[in-house]
């Protein structure tokens, strides 16, 4: 647990999310932060997960198909959308906004 906390803290994933291009890179980061927030009770991880999820909604939501895109400039897949719905469902106390 200490190593996972140290890794997540040193990487500053919410602040560096712009460097990741594919949902398969981003979703495990969100999952890690959600789990660390739940296990440790440290709000830094919970709010970091929420920040990353809002970023996904802002940058990867395809309003035309109502799904999450695989990358910023690619099509949607059922897997990417399903995993993201799962992650969003774990953020029970958070309201996210979809622009436009």
- Tokens coding 71: 């990358």
Q: What is the pLDDT averaged over residues 9-16?
A: 87
In tens, the pLDDT along 70-83 reads: 887 777 777 777 88
CB atoms within 10 A of CB 39: 12
Reduced to 3 DSSP states, what percent helix, strand and coil does the chain have, rounded to the nearest 5? 65, 10, 25
Provide the pLDDT for residue 5. Answer: 93
HSE of 81 in the Cβ direction (CA atoms, 13 Å)? 13
Nearest partner of 8 among 76, 95, 96, 35, judged by Cα: 35
Which position has the higher pLDDT, 100 or 54? 54
Query: CA–CA separation, 1 vs 7, rounded Å?
Result: 10
In tens, the pLDDT along 29-79 reads: 999 999 999 999 999 999 999 999 998 888 888 777 777 888 877 777 777
């Amino acid at each position: 647990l200490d190593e996972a906390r140290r890794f997540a803290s040193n990487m500053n994933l919410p602040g560096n999310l712009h460097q990741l291009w594919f949902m398969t890179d981003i979703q495990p980061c969100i999952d890690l932060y959600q789990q660390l927030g739940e296990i440790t009770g440290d709000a830094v991880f919970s709010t970091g997960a929420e920040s990353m999820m809002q970023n996904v909604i802002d940058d990867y939501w395809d309003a035309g198909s109502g799904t999450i895109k695989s990358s910023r400039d690619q099509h949607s897949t059922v897997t990417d959308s399903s995993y993201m719905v799962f992650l969003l469902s774990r953020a029970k106390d958070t309201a996210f906004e979809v622009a436009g």
